[in-house]
Amino acid sequence: MIQPAQRMQRLAASIFTNMAEKKAEKLSSLEDIIDLSIGSPDLPPPDGVRNLFSEESLKEDQYGYSLKGTQEFNKAVVTYYKERFQIKLNENEVLQLMGSQDGLAHLALAYLDAGDILIAPDPGYPVYSACTSLAGAELYSLPVNEENHFMPDLDKIPIEIAKKAKIFIMNYPGNPTAAMVTQEYFEKAVSFALEHNILIVHDFAYSELVFTDQKPLSIFHIPDARKTAIEFNSLSKSFNMAGARIGYAVGFPSYLKPLADIKSNIDYGVFYPLQKAAAYALTKEYKFLDDHRSIYKKRRDVFCEKLHEYGWNVTIPDGGMFIWARVPGHYSSLSFALTALDYGVVVTPGNAFGSGGEGYVRIALTKDTDTLIEAAKRLGSLIKEERGK
């Protein structure tokens, strides 16, 4: 039998795949399932975006290789950063991606050699550890928890780790923890990275889902960040375009070039009509973003209120599209997720995001309020039964 590459031994089957298989088993017995396990938006993109995409896709000359981002798309990102974050970019500081997850995976290949270290939060989004393994590098996990407000203590990173590290990944608003960040923390992180010659990678995918008066914090709100950081974003969560894969990284051209070179050897660029639709979204659909945020805020409020009524006092997040909830009673992350499935609700066990996620589950706010109320009722029955033991 022909064996796969040894690097595959470092990659486990995705917990999302495993939970999908369990869900399929339940559905095969015609059970009613509410799936809150994956952050795939349930709402469509703006009408204008879909209409433009439809029009452009009918044009005969739109089906060639695009190879890279169009000038129109790059200008749109520049406009978006100026209007939404008051940050000035140049067009050559934008690199188009087939989604930010794609870009993060390829970035590791562009920067990491065997023996290099990538620093990432634990718990953190699974691609952070997966891309490290694919590049043959080493992962150094920084614990994030409620005690440190999900902002890891940089002073506890051993000096030998800091010397060997090339990349430090951060993610605010966070997935899975829904954590927010402070400007003071970003300032400290930038100083740390400059001192040790480390590339900060800020995963900013949930930039438009902030429910407080706090403005979304880009890493580039820190003046010196350009010297040591790049930022990833996409249209997946902000504009409900998760299946239409398009995103971007921004930063100094010299930091983006290795990733661009990797991409030039792997892909042929994003479909032209999608680029045009994305450019339209980034420059014309700001009211949609505000309305979209209001929808998720209402979902958060309704769902958390119901869970509290049923006795599960989950933390109410200030941003993102997830509830990061400590599991009750004697449950582990996985046992609670499997029990919740018996009650007709799919959630993701926290340990899918690293060992630091044990004792939690992640619940996605990707259903309408009525469905979320029903999900809370079912989970409330689980909590009630647990308390009755």
For 104-139, what is each residue's pLDDT tens digit? 999 999 999 999 999 999 999 999 999 999 999 999
Q: Which of 302, 353, 345, 298 is nearest to 324 (CA)?
A: 353
What is the pLDDT at residue 10?
Answer: 72
Q: Phi first, then psi: what are they for 319, rounded to 5°? A: -165, 175
pLDDT of 378 above 80: yes
96 shares its domain with 27? no
115 shares its domain with 262? yes
Please answer whether residues 358 and 350 qualify as being in contact, where contact means their C-beta atoms are separated by less than 8 angstroms: yes
Distance CA 237, CA 173 (A): 12
79 shares its domain with 168? yes
pLDDT digits (tens, 9 = 90+) for 221-262: 999 999 999 999 999 999 999 999 999 999 999 999 999 999
230 shares its domain with 327? no
- Residue ending a domain, among 232, 267, 284, is 284
Mean pLDDT of all residues belonging to the chain: 94
The CA R_g of the chain, rounded to the nearest whole Å, is 21
User: Domain limits at 338?
Assistant: 6-45+287-387
Does a structural domain hold residue 75?
A: yes
Distance CA 233, CA 222 (A): 17
The tally of domains found in the chain comes to 2
Please answer whether residues 75 and 92 qualify as being in contact, where contact means their C-beta atoms are separated by less than 8 angstroms: no
32 shares its domain with 126? no
Does a structural domain hold residue 56?
A: no
Residues 6+ apart with CB under 8 A from 353: 122, 123, 124, 125, 126, 176, 362
CATH number of the domain that residue 97 is part of: 3.40.640.10
Does a structural domain hold residue 81?
A: yes
* pTM score of the predicted model: 0.94
Provide DSSP, 155-218: GGS-HHHHHHEEEEEEESS-TTT-----HHHHHHHHHHHHHHT-EEEEE-TTTT-B-SSSPP--
Q: What percent of the chain clears pLDDT 70, i.e. is strictly above it?
A: 96
pLDDT digits (tens, 9 = 90+) for 265-297: 999 999 999 999 999 999 999 999 999 999 999
pLDDT digits (tens, 9 = 90+) for 347-356: 999 999 999 9
pLDDT of 22 above 90: no
CATH number of the domain that residue 308 is part of: 3.90.1150.10
233 shares its domain with 250? yes
Does a structural domain hold residue 34?
A: yes
